[in-house]
């Protein structure tokens, strides 16, 4: 295989067929069902599906088949079945749903207004994870152009990943014959430590989403006449959160949400920090003089990858400050995001949270706690020699640097499902979400030069799939 020719093919395909399509994709506010309950009526998901189907039909390899599955009241999945000449099965994965808008975009940029600036494509969903379908087909086509023999490849694209993939188990069962038993799983929905090398993700945290509501009154009352006597609903909520989190350190207190960190992941984290140095801190848009929770960079990375962490990501019952009168509010509702380490059982973790937050509430206040479906984390199996050698070789060829591995604090439910179902499968979990790319936040961008090289790396790794 001629790697120079392959990169040339990839670059041209990106310029002519991927970047223009991603630009159109970004314009469509296809928010995941958790953020758009009326997604069927609004029609944005169908619009994205139609775009993906039209593009795939134009560019899919010869003899491949495109399937669209959509069961009643469920988001769709798109599958591209590419026959191979070698024994074995490869599964490639991505998603086409998006996170909501988020405030704080720079002037001239917005979630649904694509902007190409300094070889970065700004807009919601381009990097997380709109490019995956297009890059996967590009990778396969670049190999077939050189008559590289491949095993059978199945590309699976879902539309509810940002909601925790609630529909995916249904489709895994429905399409079990089509999916078969993958020998290699390639996921293009993860991060990169920098833009200088090929990165793979070796672990992911799980996720428990919940809403916590505290009611103290049936209606709002004058704060002058009631405060002090009537407990503040916000204070009660704060008391409850202190049962599960040390407010001074951020440490999660429940043993059911913790796990022992394997020594090899500790070593991996130390190596990761040695490569990037203080970049592991500087990648975040810190407010002036703000400091991280730990000044030890290794510990800081572990806190966002292998330790549980609680975040309040939304709130109801609080008026905007400009409209806030002197009223003691009847309730406070908080949306909680609890990231749990790999290998922690989300069901047991939920039950521990439920018991801790609802038993013996302060002042006998009314507590309502509703959980979303919990998601398992994932810890990669040991990488086979052929795969680790391929990642290292092609990172050096296309980036000029050794490959890197990292633990991620995010969640990809599909990986946990596959890891449990196919324990013998190998995994390449990679992606373009490097420093500053800010998935889910304002000014999300896709680093196009990095994405091109990553596509070439993934293609080349596929070409090294062992011949049985």
| Residue 292 belongs to some domain of the structure | no
Residues 307 and 446 in one domain: no
Query: For residue 414, what pLDDT is reported?
Result: 86
| Residue 281 belongs to some domain of the structure | no
Domain C-terminal end among 353, 371, 389: 371
Pairing of strands 366-371, 206-215: antiparallel
User: What's the whole-number mean pLDDT along residues 86-96?
Assistant: 97
**How sure is the predictor about 8, in pLDDT bands with cuts at 50, 70 and 90?**
very high
Q: What percent of the chain has pLDDT over 90?
A: 96
Residues 240 and 180 in one domain: no
Q: What percent of the chain has pLDDT over 70?
A: 100
Round to whole Å and give the CA distance between 96 and 129.
Answer: 6
Round to whole Å and give the CA distance between 387 and 367.
Answer: 50
User: What's the whole-number mean pLDDT along residues 122-133?
Assistant: 97
Residues 400 and 322 in one domain: no
Residues 359 and 383 in one domain: no
Residues 216 and 363 in one domain: yes
pLDDT tens, 157-215? Answer: 999 999 989 999 999 999 999 999 999 999 999 999 999 999 999 999 999 999 999 99
Domain C-terminal end among 311, 339, 371: 371
Round to whole Å and give the CA distance between 169 and 171.
Answer: 5
For the chain, the average pLDDT equals 96
| Residue 275 belongs to some domain of the structure | no
Residues 244 and 353 in one domain: yes
- With a cut of 80, say whether residue 4 has pLDDT above it: yes
How many domains in the chain? 2
pLDDT tens, 226-275? Answer: 999 999 999 999 999 999 999 999 999 999 999 999 999 999 999 999 99
User: What's the whole-number mean pLDDT along residues 336-344?
Assistant: 97
Cβ neighbors of 196 (< 8 A, separation 6 or more) are 399, 401
Low-confidence winner among 358-367, 402-411, 412-421 (lowest mean pLDDT): 412-421
pLDDT tens, 266-303? Answer: 999 999 999 999 999 999 999 999 999 999 999 999 99
SS3 of residue 426 by DSSP: strand
Cβ neighbors of 284 (< 8 A, separation 6 or more) are none
Unique residue bearing structure tokens 């994932």? 378
Residues 180 and 226 in one domain: no
Domain C-terminal end among 322, 352, 371: 371
User: What's the whole-number mean pLDDT along residues 319-328?
Assistant: 93
SS3 of residue 457 by DSSP: helix
Residues 316 and 408 in one domain: no
Residues 20 and 136 in one domain: yes
| Residue 290 belongs to some domain of the structure | no
Residues 160 and 183 in one domain: yes
Q: What is the CATH number of the domain that holds 123?
A: 3.40.630.10
Q: What is the pTM of this model?
A: 0.91
| Residue 274 belongs to some domain of the structure | no
Query: For residue 123, what pLDDT is reported?
Result: 98
Query: For residue 468, what pLDDT is reported?
Result: 73
Residues 175 and 136 in one domain: yes
Using an 8 Å Cβ cutoff, are 120 and 152 in contact?
no
pLDDT tens, 345-402? Answer: 999 999 999 999 999 999 999 999 999 989 999 999 999 999 999 999 999 999 999 9
Residues 112 and 213 in one domain: no
The boundaries of the domain holding residue 353 are 206-267+297-371
| Residue 279 belongs to some domain of the structure | no
């Amino acid at each position: 295989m001629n790697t120079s020719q392959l990169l040339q093919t990839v670059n041209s395909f990106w310029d002519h067929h991927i970047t223009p399509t991603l630009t159109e994709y970004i314009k469509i506010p296809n928010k995941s069902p958790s953020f758009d309950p009326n997604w069927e009526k609004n029609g944005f998901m169908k619009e994205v599906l139609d775009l993906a189907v039209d593009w795939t039909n134009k560019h899919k390899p010869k003899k491949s088949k495109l399937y669209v599955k959509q069961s009643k009241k469920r988001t769709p999945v798109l599958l591209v079945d590419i026959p191979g000449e070698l024994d074995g099965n490869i599964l490639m994965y991505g998603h086409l749903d998006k996170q909501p808008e988020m405030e704080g975009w720079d002037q001239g940029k917005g979630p649904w207004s694509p902007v190409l600036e300094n070889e970065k494509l700004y807009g919601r969903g381009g990097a997380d994870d709109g490019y995956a379908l297009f890059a996967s087909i590009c990778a396969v086509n670049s190999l077939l152009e050189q008559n590289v023999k491949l095993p059978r490849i199945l590309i699976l694209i879902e539309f509810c990943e940002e909601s925790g993939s609630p529909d995916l188990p249904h489709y895994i069962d429905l399409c079990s014959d089509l999916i078969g038993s993958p020998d290699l799983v390639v996921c293009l929905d993860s991060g990169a430590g920098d833009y200088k090398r090929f990165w793979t993700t070796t672990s992911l945290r799980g996720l428990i989403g919940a809403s916590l509501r505290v009611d103290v009154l049936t209606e709002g009352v004058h704060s002058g006449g009631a405060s002090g006597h009537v407990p503040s609903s916000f204070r009660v909520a704060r008391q409850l959160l202190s049962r599960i989190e040390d407010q001074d350190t951020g440490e999660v207190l429940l043993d059911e949400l913790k796990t022992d960190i394997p020594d090899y992941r500790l070593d991996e984290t130390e190596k990761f920090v040695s490569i990037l140095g203080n970049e592991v801190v500087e990648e975040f848009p810190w407010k002036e003089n703000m400091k991280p929770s730990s000044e030890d960079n290794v510990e800081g990375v572990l806190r966002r990858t292998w330790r549980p962490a609680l975040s309040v990501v939304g709130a109801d019952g609080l008026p905007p400050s400009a409209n806030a009168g002197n009223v003691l509010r009847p309730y406070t509702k908080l949306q909680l995001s609890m990231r749990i380490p790999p290998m922690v059982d989300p069901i047991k973790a939920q039950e521990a949270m439920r018991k801790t937050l609802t038993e013996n509430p302060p002042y006998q206040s009314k507590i309502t706690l509703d959980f979303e479906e919990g998601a398992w984390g994932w810890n990669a199996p040991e990488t086979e020699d052929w795969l680790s050698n391929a990642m290292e070789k092609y990172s050096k060829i296309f980036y000029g640097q050794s490959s890197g591995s990292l633990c991620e604090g995010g969640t990809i439910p599909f990986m946990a499902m596959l890891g449990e179902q196919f324990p013998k499968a190998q995994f390449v979990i990679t992606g373009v979400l490097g420093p500053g790319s800010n998935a889910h936040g304002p000014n999300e961008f896709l680093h196009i030069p990095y994405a091109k090289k990553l596509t070439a790396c993934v293609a080349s790794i596929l070409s090294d799939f062992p011949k049985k």
